[in-house]
Amino acid sequence: MTSLQELQRRIVDHATAPITVTAVPGLSLYHADSDAPLSAQLIYTPMVCIMAQGEKKVLLGDSVFRYTPESYLVSSVDLPVTGRVCNAAPGRPYLALSLAIDTRLLSELLMTLPPAATETEPRCGLAIGKVDAALLDCFVRLTRLLDEPGAIAMVAPLIAREILYRLLQGEQAQMLRQIATQESRTYQVARVVQWIREHYAEPFSAQVLAEVANMSPASLHRHFRAITAMSPLQYQKQVRLQEARRLLVTQGEDAATAGFHVGYASPSQFSREYTRTFGKPPRQDAAHLQSLAGAVAIP
């Protein structure tokens, strides 16, 4: 059995739902027997995703990222994306896993490694890298802990540390270094992203965000767009609409109430922007999602 085959088997054995949050800190498993619609939207947090079987396409702004079992996807900040699972079927399901990036662990690891030249310009917050045998082996060993729960607390942090080390030796090392380097533009933009996510229902000015980032408004706008592929206002709108969708589906709120709760003063504007983003008016979209009986967006 190859490492990839073992990873596939372990995901099948332990993925009890389309998304399974495991006992291993930060590790989630994904299983889908059919293709996901292109309109499935979600927030990618800082993490690395490994494909065991299938194909996934992720859209961030105008950029398309495609990854397969030969590649991994890494995100450096919270990003609203659109994704689609491709070529999944009951006999050959989509199988994947993700590991949250522990920035504290990453910072500690960087302190033990030789310094590297730091890029002055930030990279896009989403990137694809090549999976080599050593990195794949790390993830196989991490999933083995699911059959040995008593060892998770002691062994999982060691394997997570090795995964970060392997990634820091790969082609997306600069992106990872920027996540944990307080002087980097990525780190500063991440602070603004977090602020917007905590205050998404409130209006804000460019100056307020610039003060959060400790940058000039013009510099923040340029670097924010470089990393997230959107402006701060566009980012806020995506977060608002994601939260409104959650309120509609899980809390049963009507469209006007959900729109008001996420910061929209005009119900008609909320309905227009919701329909433009998700493809259906709020009430129809919520009813459709509730009818899917547990179907979810798969990272």
86 and 194 share one domain: no
Asked if residue 112 belongs to a domain, the reply is no
Chain segment 255-275, per-residue pLDDT in tens: 999 999 999 999 999 999 999
Q: Which of 194, 188, 231, 187 is nearest to 211 (CA)?
A: 188
Asked if residue 269 belongs to a domain, the reply is yes
Chain segment 138-147, per-residue pLDDT in tens: 999 999 999 9
Q: Is the pLDDT of residue 26 over 70?
A: yes
The arithmetic mean of pLDDT across residues 219-240, rounded, is: 94
216 and 140 share one domain: no
The whole-number pLDDT of residue 10 equals 97
- More reliable by pLDDT, 48 or 36: 48
CATH number of the domain to which 134 belongs = 2.60.120.10
115 Cβ partners below 8 Å, 6+ apart? Answer: none
Asked if residue 251 belongs to a domain, the reply is yes
245 and 267 share one domain: yes
CA distance 271 to 251: 18
77 and 147 share one domain: yes
Asked if residue 149 belongs to a domain, the reply is yes
Q: Would you place residue 298 in the very low, low, confident or very high pLDDT band (cuts 50, 70, 90)?
A: low
Give the structural domain span for 251: 234-291
Asked if residue 30 belongs to a domain, the reply is yes
Asked if residue 19 belongs to a domain, the reply is yes
60 and 164 share one domain: yes
Contact 149, 106 (CB under 8 A): no
The whole-number pLDDT of residue 295 equals 46
242 Cβ partners below 8 Å, 6+ apart? Answer: 41, 42, 43, 80
Angle, helices 185-198/217-228, rounded to nearest 10 degrees: 90
Over pLDDT 70: what percentage of the chain? Answer: 94
Chain segment 145-198, per-residue pLDDT in tens: 999 999 999 999 999 999 999 999 999 999 888 888 877 888 899 999 999 999
The whole-number pLDDT of residue 296 equals 47
Asked if residue 34 belongs to a domain, the reply is yes
User: What is the bridge-based pairing of β-strands 27-32 and 19-21?
Assistant: antiparallel
249 and 156 share one domain: no
Chain segment 123-141, per-residue pLDDT in tens: 799 999 999 999 999 999 9
Mean pLDDT score across all residues of the chain = 90
39 and 52 share one domain: yes
> 230, 245, 264: which is the final residue of a domain?
230
194 and 263 share one domain: no
- More reliable by pLDDT, 40 or 208: 208
Asked if residue 195 belongs to a domain, the reply is yes
The whole-number pLDDT of residue 76 equals 92
**How many structural domains does the chain have?**
3
217 and 251 share one domain: no
CATH number of the domain to which 241 belongs = 1.10.10.60
- Residue 138 burial (C-beta neighbours within 10 Å; 0-12, 13-18, 19+): buried
165 and 284 share one domain: no
Whole-model pTM over 0.75? yes
Alpha helices in the chain (DSSP H): 3-14, 103-112, 133-144, 152-168, 173-180, 185-198, 206-213, 217-228, 232-246, 255-261, 267-278, 282-291
243 and 224 share one domain: no
57 and 150 share one domain: yes
Contact 249, 295 (CB under 8 A): no
Q: Position 165: which residue type?
A: Y
